[in-house]
Structure 1
Amino acid sequence: MGESEQTRPDTATDAATIRNEFALERYRYLLQQIQTVNENAHRFLAIYQTLATALVTAALALFVGYRKWELAASTARGGVIGLLTLATVVAAFTGTLIVVGALAWLDYRNEECDITDEIVGPGFRTRPRPGNFFRWYETYVVLFILVSVITMWVLAAVFLLPAMR
């Protein structure tokens, strides 16, 4: 006739088990993404430092060698400004990537808190507070990039460009 109560699968228990397994896999994925976002900030800073150093070195080489290479001073000034502009673009791109990474981190952490609130219990993980940005190392990386770009331009405007007349 029909299945007995003991042999029929308990669909509520199966659904809960599947839901918990799915939540666990999602939680693992979120933790992996958070780790990746954290690592990316260091990679972006290393890329910025490498490119900025190369571009500023090229600008200094142009400043030192433009007479020997028989370049007009206006051409050399244009080259220095172009190289510093390129360094600024690299800085802006790097800063943007770091800010977007921080926003992604906030999103992943909030989703992590949603999962733990639902599966473990409310308040298991404290939600991140954007007001604590002064404690995030990304804030200081972006500030470093900003200060270094401003310093490059000020030094060029005060020392290099006036000397290339």
Structure 2
Amino acid sequence: MRSEFALERYRYLLQQIQAVNENAHRFLALYQTLATALVTAALALFVGYRKWDLTADTARGGVIGLLTLVTVVAAFTGTLIVVGALAWLDYRHEECDITDEIVGPGFRKRPRPGNFLRWYETYVVLFILVSVLTMWVLAAVFLLPAMR
């Protein structure tokens, strides 16, 4: 009875680990979609604010507001990815506990947070950070000064 329960728990953990891995890709797709839409809106505002009879101050405020929304989406996405990585660590530790008890000690090596450079989540979060910083720099250097 105990081994059947452990087997079911092990299957559940493997499903959860798979779900956490898939979620990181979903979160990245969500960020890419929303960031693209918001930056497109900012560029449309930059190109069309005169035609729409908006003042430069209003247009600049709109661009800054849209970039702020991109930043909020990026922070939310990054938080979800980091929380997912922490959940993955927890599930893997529980998986190791089960295999240590049922199969034998050391059957699976425990994950080490020090290996974060090998995790794709690290590079997804770095991509998000670099892309947001790049958007702000490009807006500050090219878009906002050109809106006079």
TM-score for both structures, normalised by structure 1: 0.89
Deviation at 1:42, TM superposition (A): 0.3
Trace 1:89-128 onto structure 2 (pairs within 5 A). Answer: 89-128=72-111
Work out the CA distance in 2 between the residues paired with 1:69 and 1:26: 60
Task: Give a deviation string over 1:5-56, Cα, whole Å, max 9, x none.
Answer: xxxxxxxxxxxxx110000000000000000000000000000000000000
Work out the CA distance in 1 between the residues paired with 2:138 and 2:117: 28
Gaps of 5+ in 2: none
Higher relative contact order (CA 8 A, sep 6+): 2
How many equivalent pairs are there? 148
Deviation at 1:163, TM superposition (A): 0.6
Work out the CA distance in 2 between the residues paired with 1:107 and 1:80: 41
SS of match in other structure, 1:123:
coil
Work out the CA distance in 2 between the residues paired with 1:81 and 1:49: 19
Work out the CA distance in 1 between the residues paired with 2:21 and 2:128: 17
Deviation at 1:72, TM superposition (A): 0.4
Q: CA RMSD in A?
A: 0.3
Say whether residues 1:137 and 2:117 are aligned partners.
Answer: no
Work out the CA distance in 2 between the residues paired with 1:38 and 1:123: 24
Say whether residues 1:44 and 2:37 are aligned partners.
Answer: no
Work out the CA distance in 1 between the residues paired with 2:11 and 2:52: 58
> After the TM superposition, which segments of 4 or more aligned residues of structure 1 sit over 3 Å from their partners?
none
Max radius of gyration: which structure? 1
Match in the other structure for 2:69: 86
Deviation at 1:127, TM superposition (A): 0.3
SS of match in other structure, 2:124:
helix
Match in the other structure for 2:133: 150
Work out the CA distance in 2 between the residues paired with 1:113 and 1:148: 36
Gaps of 5+ in 1: 1-17
SS of match in other structure, 1:125:
coil
Task: Give a deviation string over 1:59-105, Cα, whole Å, max 9, x none.
Answer: 00000000000100000000000000000000000000000000000
Deviation at 1:142, TM superposition (A): 0.1
Deviation at 1:115, TM superposition (A): 0.2
Work out the CA distance in 2 between the residues paired with 1:61 and 1:151: 18
TM-score for both structures, normalised by structure 2: 1.00
Q: Percent identity?
A: 92
Work out the CA distance in 2 between the residues paired with 1:154 and 1:84: 11
